[in-house]
């Protein structure tokens, strides 16, 4: 428009302005998730235009972890021997000299670093080990399959990988063992196990043996116990001679003799063994088992023969143990001599006053008690003759 004539122009034709969106960057991460030590490649591409330069960012900050230029539609950023510290959110963007000079940033991708499976070592036998004893080590990896196993002793590789998860070795010195698994698929290795410390004593183990009874009688039950400091043993039991064949082999430390007889007496020893081949302890000191037959009573009569009216004293003797009670028999086991006006029982003594011909006969005695040895065998019968006459012969019925 103007003040003079013509005061204005005709309006211009319409001009249309179009605003195009910036091209968007695309990020690819392979592989993901990833295991420590592997190689990861991040590829950034912009689908249109050319001559892009690329920048990679981590965790949405202004730090550029890498940048590169390429005439290709995509460019890569490689992380070698990845570790847990590389884990995080990654994104990329493109830049160029010509218009458009930049792309939109890519969508975030979270890169996850997984822990490698953990190997662990077990040992058999457990506990205290002895020089020259064979031990078995087993490598366990709970996750995945198809492992080969690599063993290290004092951090030095023992041998190349083997499909067997166990090794057998002699425990001849102090050592530390570790194992590790490797496989062709991902993950290609496990973590190395924690060191297993093997401590070996130079002393040979010694068995000790004890019995649960000191006084052993016919029919008793006798338990023998063999003791070794550590665990995992089988026990071998010997009688009379330690170089003979064992009379028994037990998985537990006890050996029981049920209802012993006199023939079971003797010197007993034990030793323990474990492993394959078997590693043996020293022999124990011996335990002597003496089985005693039933105690026998002995009867004495004074005076004998006896005259009518005299006093006769019968004494029952038992050679061992105490707390006996005594029974007195005449002519048969059904006839027990009881306390009466003329017959007095005091302890181990039966006193007969004013003897008469009715007192004549065969007498014997027996001891009884409440403890483990409940009774004696009967004494030999003694014939009492009154007035010098006796027609009684033979043992009691």
What pLDDT does residue 42 have?
94
Instruction: Give 156's pLDDT tier (boundaries 50, 70, 90).
Output: very high
| Those residues with Cβ within 8 angstroms of residue 203's Cβ, 6 or more apart along the chain or in another chain | 130
What pLDDT does residue 148 have?
95
What pLDDT does residue 131 have?
81
Q: Average the pLDDT over 95-105 and give the result.
A: 92
pTM: 0.59
pLDDT at 71 over 70: no
Task: Tell me how far apart the alpha carbons of residues 38 and 78 are, in angstroms, rounded to a whole number.
Answer: 11
pLDDT at 321 over 80: no
pLDDT at 63 over 90: no
Q: Average the pLDDT over 317-336 and give the result.
A: 82
What pLDDT does residue 366 have?
87
HSE-CB of 230 using CA atoms within 13 angstroms: 20
What pLDDT does residue 230 have?
82
What pLDDT does residue 244 have?
86
More confident residue, 137 or 229: 137
Q: Which domains does the chain have, with CATH numbers?
A: 25-111 (2.60.40.10), 119-201 (2.60.40.10), 208-292 (2.60.40.10), 297-384 (2.60.40.10)
Residue 44 near residue 94 (C-beta atoms within 8 A): yes
The DSSP bridge partners found for residue 300 are 315
Lowest average pLDDT, out of 254-258, 289-293, 389-393, goes to: 389-393
φ and ψ at residue 396, rounded to 5 degrees: -70, 155
Q: Average the pLDDT over 90-103 and give the result.
A: 92
pLDDT at 361 over 70: yes
> What is the greatest pairwise CA distance in the chain?
193
What pLDDT does residue 393 have?
42
pLDDT in tens, 183-207: 999 999 999 999 998 888 776 777 7
pLDDT in tens, 106-133: 999 999 999 999 999 999 888 788 888 8
pLDDT at 229 over 60: yes
Bin 188: left if φ > 0, else alpha if -120 < ψ < 50, else beta.
alpha
Burial of 19 (0-12, 13-18, 19+ CB in 10 A): exposed
Task: Tell me how far apart the alpha carbons of residues 63 and 173 are, in angstroms, rounded to a whole number.
Answer: 54
For residue 331, which of 360, 363, 307, 370 has the smallest C-alpha distance? 363
What pLDDT does residue 390 have?
44
Q: Say if strands 291-292 and 216-217 run parallel, antiparallel, or are unpaired.
A: parallel
Instruction: Give 392's pLDDT tier (boundaries 50, 70, 90).
Output: very low
Q: Average the pLDDT over 57-67 and give the result.
A: 79
| Vertex 281 angle, CA 277 and 283, to 5° | 130
Instruction: Give 311's pLDDT tier (boundaries 50, 70, 90).
Output: very high
More confident residue, 216 or 87: 87
Task: Tell me how far apart the alpha carbons of residues 390 and 397 are, in angstroms, rounded to a whole number.
Answer: 18
Task: Tell me how far apart the alpha carbons of residues 183 and 190 are, in angstroms, rounded to a whole number.
Answer: 9
Distances (CA, A) of 366 to 299, 347, 375: 9, 12, 7
Residue 266 near residue 257 (C-beta atoms within 8 A): no
pLDDT in tens, 8-56: 887 888 777 777 789 999 999 999 999 999 999 999 999 888 889 999 9
**Locus of tokens 């190689």:** 39
What pLDDT does residue 73 have?
53
| Those residues with Cβ within 8 angstroms of residue 362's Cβ, 6 or more apart along the chain or in another chain | 330, 331, 381, 382, 383, 384, 392, 395, 396
Q: Average the pLDDT over 329-355 and give the result.
A: 89
What pLDDT does residue 188 have?
94
Which DSSP symbol is given to 155?
A: T
Q: Average the pLDDT over 267-281 and give the result.
A: 89
């Amino acid at each position: 428009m103007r003040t003079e004539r013509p005061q204005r122009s005709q309006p211009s034709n319409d001009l249309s302005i179009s605003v195009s969106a910036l091209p968007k960057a695309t990020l690819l991460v392979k592989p993901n998730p990833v295991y420590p030590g592997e190689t990861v490649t991040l590829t950034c591409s912009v689908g249109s235009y050319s001559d892009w330069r690329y920048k990679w960012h981590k965790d949405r900050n202004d730090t550029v972890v890498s940048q590169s230029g390429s005439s290709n539609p995509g460019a890569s950023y490689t992380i070698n021997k990845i570790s847990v510290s590389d884990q995080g959110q990654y994104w990329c963007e493109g830049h160029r000299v010509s218009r458009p000079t930049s792309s939109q940033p890519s969508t975030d991708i979270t890169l996850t670093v997984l822990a490698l499976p953990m190997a662990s070592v077990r040992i058999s036998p457990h506990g205290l080990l002895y020089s020259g004893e064979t031990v078995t080590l087993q490598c366990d990896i709970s996750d995945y399959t198809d492992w080969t196993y690599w063993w290290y002793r004092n951090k030095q590789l023992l041998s190349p990988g083997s499909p067997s998860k166990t090794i057998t070795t002699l425990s001849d010195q102090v050592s530390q063992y570790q194992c590790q698994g490797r496989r062709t698929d991902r993950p290609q290795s496990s973590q190395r196990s924690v060191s297993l410390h093997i401590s070996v004593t130079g002393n040979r183990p010694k068995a000790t043996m004890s019995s649960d009874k000191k006084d052993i009688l016919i029919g008793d039950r006798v338990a023998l116990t063999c003791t070794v400091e550590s665990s995992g043993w089988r026990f071998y039991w010997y009688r009379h001679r330690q170089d003979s064949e064992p009379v028994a082999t037990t998985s537990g430390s006890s050996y029981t003799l049920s209802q012993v007889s006199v023939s079971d007496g003797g010197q007993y020893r034990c030793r323990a063994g474990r492993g394959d081949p078997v590693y043996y302890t020293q022999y124990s000191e011996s335990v002597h088992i003496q089985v005693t037959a039933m105690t026998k009573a002995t009867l004495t009569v004074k005076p004998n023969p006896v005259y009518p009216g005299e006093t006769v004293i019968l004494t029952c003797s038992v050679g061992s143990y105490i707390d006996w009670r005594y029974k007195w028999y005449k002519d048969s086991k059904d006839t027990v001599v009881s306390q009466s006006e003329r017959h007095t029982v005091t302890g181990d003594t039966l006193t007969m006053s004013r003897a008469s011909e009715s007192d004549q006969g065969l007498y014997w005695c027996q001891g009884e008690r409440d403890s483990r040895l409940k009774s004696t065998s009967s004494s030999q019968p003694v014939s009492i003759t009154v007035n010098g006459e006796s027609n009684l012969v033979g043992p009691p019925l």
